[in-house]
Amino acid sequence: MDVVEEHDIQDKPTKKKTKKPKKQPKPQHENGDDSMVEKTDPEHVDAPAEFSFPPTFSVSEIKNKQRRHLMFMKLKQEKRKQKMAMKKKKKKERDALGDKAPPKEVPKTIENQRVYDETTVNPEDEEVAFDEGTDEFSAYFNRLTNPKVLITTSDRPRGRTVRFCNQLATVIPDAHVYYRRGLALKRVIPQCVARGFTYLMVINEDRKRRGKDPTEHSPEVILNNFTTRLGHSMGRLFAALFPHDPQYIFKNEKRVGIQELGPRFTLKLRSLQKGTFDSKFGEYEWVLKRHENDVCRRRFNL
């Protein structure tokens, strides 16, 4: 029987030989001198990438306030650049076309985007002229009466409100200030009618802010764009608040410049009653309905 010896063959770890990269020859200049400057083609140089936002980016998603403000300013600047580039492009195209250029686009304004109202008044309408001759302001426009205004306040007014009423009395000619002292309006109105007052103004306290000092001359009210039937009535109401004695002094007969002197404020019409004010049995000609009248922002009631 033959015996064969088996030798255990163990794998010895072998070292991997790493090849060293070959040295590349240095580029030489045209003059032959060795230098580290390489020639580059100006046409193939990568231009710096312009700043741009992804299409679904929203600045409001950024939580950091300072970073959100910075990104908003960058986005606004980018939009301004795009707008200016588009404007220059259109101008070049228009100059190239000359007389064949298309007409300029009409800018969007409040007037041309306004929703048409069926109650728009035509000044030359006979029915409108008849209504103006028979309404409660006809005596004023025919110079038969002069406006007489009574100014009062709400209950328990503060010192600022009282001073504002005194200043308002200097702005409106023939205006008188009356302190109610808890007297109801239903008792004030008959006394106003008996003493010949044509207007009753009730000043309420809201923001308690005063404006600038009034001017010495009588104010002149400019009533434009009151085109609807309701606006026509409100325009005549405001016109009858001041004396009907228009006096104009123009420096130039061809061109007129108007300067705003007094403070600016906004009046919002809540309701319009026929005759004197009556909270219970008054006949309302118009009432502000918030959910019906404020649906379209391009619709104006006046």
Structural domains in the chain (count): 2
Per-residue pLDDT tens digits for 11-60: 444 555 555 555 555 555 444 444 444 444 544 445 445 556 566 768 88
For residues 135-162, give the mean pLDDT.
84
With a cut of 90, say whether residue 283 has pLDDT above it.
Answer: no
| Residue 52 domain-assigned (yes or no) | no
94 and 170 assigned to the same domain: no
173 and 88 assigned to the same domain: no
Amino acid at residue number 231: G
More confident residue, 214 or 274: 274
274 and 223 assigned to the same domain: yes
136 and 267 assigned to the same domain: yes
138 and 267 assigned to the same domain: yes
- Average pLDDT of the chain to the nearest whole number: 75
Residue 76 confidence (pLDDT): 92
What residues make up the domain containing 72? 64-98
- Dist CA 116 CA 105 (whole Å): 21
With a cut of 60, say whether residue 211 has pLDDT above it.
Answer: no
271-274/199-203 β-pairing: unpaired
For residues 264-273, give the mean pLDDT.
80
137 and 220 assigned to the same domain: yes
What contacts 160, CB < 8 A, 6 or more positions away?
Answer: 208, 210
| Residue 196 domain-assigned (yes or no) | yes
- Dist CA 90 CA 101 (whole Å): 10
Residue 2 confidence (pLDDT): 47
188 and 78 assigned to the same domain: no
Per-residue pLDDT tens digits for 71-119: 999 999 999 999 999 999 988 988 888 888 888 888 888 778 887 777 7
**Among 47, 78, 98, where does a domain finish?**
98
Through-space distance between the first and last CA atoms of the chain, rounded to whole angstroms: 127
Residue 80 confidence (pLDDT): 94
223 and 79 assigned to the same domain: no
- Dist CA 287 CA 229 (whole Å): 14
With a cut of 50, say whether residue 180 has pLDDT above it.
Answer: yes
CB 301 within 8 A of CB 287: no
With a cut of 60, say whether residue 67 has pLDDT above it.
Answer: yes
Residue 47 confidence (pLDDT): 45
134 and 198 assigned to the same domain: yes
